[in-house]
Amino acid sequence: MPHSEITRSLFDQVMVPNYAPLDMIPVRGEGSRLWDQKDNEYIDLTAGIAVNALGHAHPELVNALTEQAQKVWHVSNIYTNEPALGLAQKIVDNTFAEKVFFANSGAEANEAALKLARRVAFDKYGEDKSEIIAFYQGFHGRTFFTVTAGGQSSYSDGFGPKPANITHLEYNDLAALEKAISDKTCAVILEPLQGEGGVLPITPEFAQGVRALCDKHNALMILDEVQTGMGRTGELFAYMALDIVPDVVTSAKALGAGFPIAAMLTKTDLAAHFVVGSHGTTFGGNPLACAVAGKAFDLINDQKLLDGVKQKEQLIRKHLQLINDEFSVFKEVRGKGLLLGAVLNEQYQDQAKAFFLESAQQGLLVLVAGANVLRFAPALNISDDLIEQAMLKLKQAVKNVVNQDTE
């Protein structure tokens, strides 16, 4: 189909209407910049929702993909392959994990984690130990199991009977967890920073309390690091700053820095319960994905880059404060590393989308996390200069929305 015939209106004709994309269609990217069909330029502070951790079209990732594309694309899990084994070894060498299961998306990694928890409990303690505890405003994917575990019922309502034995509690409320958890609990699943739920960070006390309660009741502690993993918070994985060792960690998004791949990380004794035939995937461990992810792992697992994430966090926070000093729109800025949320104050309740849309008009791409939070998740290697330019565009967008609101 000629380029001129591919327009936003075609989406409404041929695509299932579960998304509402912007009118612009990106066609080219370089680093933290994007260009649309009309060659309009944007600064990208979304990174594909915390996916493109090294920006668009990173030359070393392009080379890794091109090199592997000339060898083997897909072999299935009837065989193993060199890129998958190489990536798994890097993960094992640099995390708590001893075993890795590869999938294609965060939902699949979380599905595997929840199934593993149920299987471990069934094998060791019997069928009564099946309760999963999760948290309100959590997000773990869109399969029916993971979306039910996620603590936002609007995403799981309307699809019939939900998977059973899932309990939801308030995030960061250790007393509530202590009251609810029991020897029938097989797992507690949580994010170390709730991304979709409003960019809410975990407290170290809560993380450590969850670990202790899981130990007490022989339950697995599953950390969903789909959004926080691979350098996003300034650590390779966020758990590394919490003084805990989880039983399972899930990773996706930035793991492939733009190429679809996910992983479930765990210990040998737990992994042993996934015997041959108990779980599987067609594309998980795909050589193309693992080749790209292997190179991305090398580039992200670099202390200079990780330290830079923390420095860039402070730069963005400084500019958000300056914007707020002038326009008084944010109640607080929360989050960690390059996953930050600017929470709108009472005067601008439910207007996150207005700031989001006006930012795009200014040539700046940002995210929302609900109706009241602007979310920023740029590439980890974004330059300070580009952050400065982005904040100027955000300032203009905020000014325009504020002026519209006062007219």
Check if 139 is active-site. Answer: yes
Instruction: Give one DSSP letter per residue of 81-119, joined into a string.
Output: -HHHHHHHHHHHHHSS-SEEEEESSHHHHHHHHHHHHHH
Instruction: Kindly calculate the radius of gyration of the chain based on its CA atoms and give it in whole angstroms.
Output: 21
Is 211 part of any known ligand binding site? no
Catalytic residue among 102, 139, 145, 206: 139
Query: Annotated binding residue at 227?
Result: yes
Confirm whether 399 is a catalytic residue: no
What is the full DSSP assignment across 137-192? T----SSHHHHHHSB-HHHHTTSSSPPSSEEEE-TT-HHHHHHH--TTEEEEEE-S
Q: Catalytic residue, from 237, 247, 253, 395: name it.
A: 253
Q: What is the dihedral of CA 174, 179, 182, 188, to 10 degrees?
A: -30
Question: 334 among the known binding-site residues?
Answer: no
**How many Å apart are CA 407 and CA 402, to the nearest integer?**
9
CB-CB contact of 135 with 207 (8 Å): no
**Is 108 marked as a binding-site residue?**
no
Q: Which residues pair with 187 in a beta bridge?
A: 132, 220
282 marked ligand binding residue: yes
List the catalytic residue out of 44, 102, 224, 312.
224
187 is in an annotated binding site: no
Q: What are phi and psi of 373, to 5 degrees?
A: -130, 125
Pull the structure tokens for residue 83.
Answer: 């890129």
Query: Closest Cα partner for 11 from 29, 33, 37?
Result: 37
* Structure token digits, residue 297: 């792992």
Alpha helices in 225-367 (DSSP H): 268-271, 287-300, 303-327, 352-361
Residue 224 annotated in active site: yes
**Residue 142 annotated in ligand binding:** yes
148 is in an annotated binding site: no
- Binding site per annotation, positions for N(2)-acetyl-L-ornithine: 142, 281
- Which residues are marked as active site? 139, 224, 253
- Binding site per annotation, positions for pyridoxal 5'-phosphate: 106-107, 139, 224-227, 282
- Binding site per annotation, positions: 106-107, 139, 142, 224-227, 281-282
